[in-house]
Amino acid sequence: MLCIRLPARHMAAILAAFTLTTATCQPLRAADAPMVRIENFAFTPPVLTVKPGTTVTFRNDDDIPHLVVANDSSFRSKALDTGDTYEFTFTKAGDFAYFCGLHPHMQGKITVAP
């Protein structure tokens, strides 16, 4: 299962992405979708390396809300309740450190490299 609760607009986005990737002969498979899981007050994996243009999904698997905030404020999720997801597309190369806005000892990093 990729996502448990997907708002309609996310479904639309995924359908759109699927259509696009199909057109460019790069089928997007669920197992390949870059995902950061939030569990036991930690981001897993703590460091994720992706190519520019990749959309990363953050999913909260804890029984407590978490909030994904970039150290440089370039992205910020709403509070994610259990099972909620947040997606952000990383277009520029570089290191993007982030933390939980509610539990700031929780930290992670997305490395964007060609």
Partner 1 sequence: MTHHHDDDNGHISRRHALECMIWAGTGVLWTISGGIPVSLNLLGEAQAAEAMATGFTFLQISDSHIGFDKAANPHAIDTLKEAMGKIQALPQKPAFMIHTGDITHLSKAAQFDNAAQIIGGAGFDVHYVPGEHDLIDDGNGKAYLDRYGKGTRGAGWYSFDQNGVHFVALVNVVNLKAGGLGNLGAEQLAWLADDLKAVSASTPIVVFAHIPLWAVYPEWGWGTDDAAQALGLLKRFGSVTVLNGHIHQIMQKVEGNVTFHTARSTAFPQPAPGTAASPGPMTVPAGQLRGLLGTSSVTVKQGGQDLAIIDSTLA
Contact residues toward partner 1 (CB under 8 A) are: 40-42, 62-65, 67, 69, 71, 78-79, 81-82, 97-99, 101-107
Would you say 58 and 34 are in contact if contact means Cβ atoms under 8 Å apart? no
Q: How far is the CB of 76 from partner 1 (least distance, A)?
A: 10
Q: How far is the CB of 98 from partner 1 (least distance, A)?
A: 8
Smaller CB distance to partner 1: residue 34 or 101?
Answer: 101
Give CA–CA dist 9/5, Å, rounded.
12
Taking the C-alpha atoms of residue 75 and residue 69, their distance in angstroms, rounded to an integer, is 6
Find the shortest distance in angstroms from Cβ 10 to partner 1: 18
State which residue, 51 or 78, has the beta carbon closest to partner 1: 78
Residue type, 103: H
Tokens of residue 41, six digits: 């007050």
